[in-house]
Amino acid sequence: MTAFTIVGVASTAAATFQPSKAEAASQCGGASWYSMGSRTASGERMSSGVMAAAHRSLPFGTHVKVQNLGNGRAVVVRINDRGPFIRGRVIDLTKAAASSLGFIGSGTARVKLTVVDGQGRLSGNCT
C-alpha cells in the first residue's frame, strides 16, 4: 500500500493518508473555483478559505483527493455543496483549494478525483 503526502490541506500543514480499497474508481475532468453565495447545498455557511468543494453526487462530508494534472499538486477537500453544472467539469473548489492547486489565475484546471475516506463512489476511471 502506497502512502501519499498532501500539501496545502490546512494553511501550512500537511496530512498523510493511506489509500483504501474504496478508491478503486477515480474521476477526471475539469475543475473550477467559486467564492460566491452565503450557504452551500448542505446548509453550511460558504467560506472561500476552507478546503471544500461541490460535486454532483458524492455524499456531503466525503473527503476527496483532488490532483491538478497540469502541475501535480494535490489537496484533500470535503464535499459540502452541489455542482458544477457545466459540461466537462467534475468539481467546483473553494478559492483556498484552487489556490493550493495553482489555478486561481486560469480559473480552471484538469484534475483527478479520488475518494479517500470510503464514504462515496466515483463513476469512471482516469487514463
Q: Each residue of 36-87: pLDDT tens digit?
A: 778 999 999 988 899 999 999 999 999 999 999 999 999 999 999 999 999 9
Alpha-carbon separation of residue 94 from 4, 21, 74, 77, 124 (angstroms): 22, 27, 14, 9, 24
Strands 52-54 and 74-81: parallel
What distance lies between CA 86 and its chain's CA centroid? 16
Q: What is the pTM of this model?
A: 0.78
Domains of the chain in sequence order: 4-115 (2.40.40.10)
Phi, psi of 81 (to 5 degrees): -150, 170
Phi, psi of 64 (to 5 degrees): -130, 130
